[in-house]
Chain A
Amino acid sequence: MAIKDISREVLETIKKMKITPKPRWEFLLKNYIIWALGVLALVIGSLATAVIIYMTINNDWDLYQFSGNGVFGYLFLSLPYYWLLALSLFILTAYYNIKHTDKGYQYDLRLIIALSVGISVVSGILFYNFGLGKAIDNIFARNISVYRNYIHRNPGLWFSPDRGILTGEITEIEEEQRVILRDLRGKNWDLFFDIGVFKFQPEFLLGNRVITIGEILSETEFRVKAIRPWVRDMMFGPGPNPMNKMRK
């Protein structure tokens, strides 16, 4: 069989099919987009870290004894897993993008992951200090019901009337010291507040989900020693801060 004249065939194909080199800007743009996506993933990962720090610090540590799980059990149950998952995904996205840049292959997997984690943690601490962790958590909690109900706080951890934790929505306010709460299972409770626990303005409370700490008085009655909003940053109006009461 005759040996092909490859050079001739290649040049003929190029001319016949009018093949031209792709413009340089196309490659540069692709590379910039990959870098930009990698950096964006790192920024979002850092924001996720800020929320994780905020949620971990503001984890109602003073209430852990009511959960009946001990400090570590409480920590385990209340860790912000969805945010940790989001952080992992963005770190992987950053890794994937950096790996696919022009020279990304030269870097070791462990180095890129360690750098991505390091950058996310350091920037996450900075973002947390600027208040971004709190802001993001609250924006999500106020505007996304799934987030508010399942991610912002773990309902499984905050519903245990026998242990003195009752969570639900305030559906009715009859008078200043008597309030009706529909718990997470749909049961109605009469709440009786200890004097001085919480001087609220009803319009701030009605329709909101709250966590109450206290004890069961009867089948449908619950004595409230402290109350705090389900959404951490929600204001109940003027009056003593229920958090202070709990800490005493």
Chain B
Amino acid sequence: MITNGDCRDKTDSQLVSLTLKNQDYFLCIIKRYEDKLLRYIRRISGLSREDAEDVLQNVFIKVYRNLNSYNQDLKFSSWIYRIAHNQVISEFRKKKARPELLSSKESELIFEFIESDLNTEKEVELKLLKKDINKVLNRLEEKYREVLVLNFLEEKSYQEISDILKKPIGTVATLISRAKNAFKKEISKQDIF
């Protein structure tokens, strides 16, 4: 039986190689990523916790099935996030779910990152503003919300986002810039400033 001690100090790539020899090592990969991926799935989807867990199970099974396709040039985390992202899209199609609202804590976090780009000289009543950020974010198009979540909440670099979404890095930069603009536009529409 694999223990935490067997997983610790091993890189993702090493765990992939070990899993291909002994499937019990897959436990290490699951343990390392289950919380992150569950959070990510819930952030970008409209699924309840239970549904998100079902999706996550399918994600891990897909990961296991496709372990041999993992290319070591890529970060393992980008690869596994990509599978999660694709699985969420296919669940969206199946269930036609709507994205759920981000928690207000998450919304505030995104706001704090974007705020520095806003360049407004007006005084912002943060207390009042933060209440509305959630609404603003959830009014954004899916593609914008997704890059904001990956960039600001999952703290992924442009390169990682490019690998997860399978888009050129230039496109990712454009999407993030447009997402910020869309965010500002939504704010001004609501007369928050």
Contacts and interface: CB of A to CB of B under 8 A. Distances in A.
Given A10-B57, A13-B57, A1 B50 contact: yes
A27 B68 contact: yes
A150 to B, nearest CB: 41
A201 to B, nearest CB: 63
Chain A CB within 10 A, most for which of B38, B57, B167: B57
Given A6-B56, A105-B166, A106-B162, A11 B27 contact: yes
A23 interface: yes
Interface in B18-44: 20, 23-24, 26-27, 30-31, 34, 38
A247 interface: no
A133 B24 CA distance: 60
Nearest to A108: B168
A107 B168 CA distance: 6
B68 A21 contact: yes
A7 interface: yes
A19 interface: yes
A190 to B, nearest CB: 67
A235 to B, nearest CB: 53
Contact of B34 (A6, A15, A105): A6
B34 A19 contact: no
A65 B132 CA distance: 72
Interface in B68-109: 68-69, 71, 73
B66 interface: yes
B86 to A, nearest CB: 13
A1 B52 CA distance: 14
Nearest to B73: A103
Given A105-B167, A106-B168, A108-B170, A9 B57 contact: yes
Interface residues of A, number: 25
Interface residues of B, number: 30
A22 interface: yes
Contacts of B111: none
B167 A23 contact: no
A14 interface: yes
Given A11-B27, A13-B61, A14-B61, A106 B67 contact: no
Nearest to A6: B34
Contacts of A1: 50
19 contacts: A6-B34, A6-B60, A7-B27, A7-B30, A7-B31, A10-B60, A11-B30, A13-B61, A14-B26, A14-B61, A19-B65, A21-B64, A21-B66, A26-B68, A27-B68, A27-B69, A103-B73, A108-B168, A108-B171
Given A14-B64, A24-B68, A103-B73, 17 more contacts: A4-B53, A6-B30, A6-B34, A7-B30, A7-B31, A10-B57, A11-B27, A11-B30, A13-B61, A14-B23, A14-B26, A15-B23, A19-B64, A21-B67, A22-B65, A105-B166, A106-B169
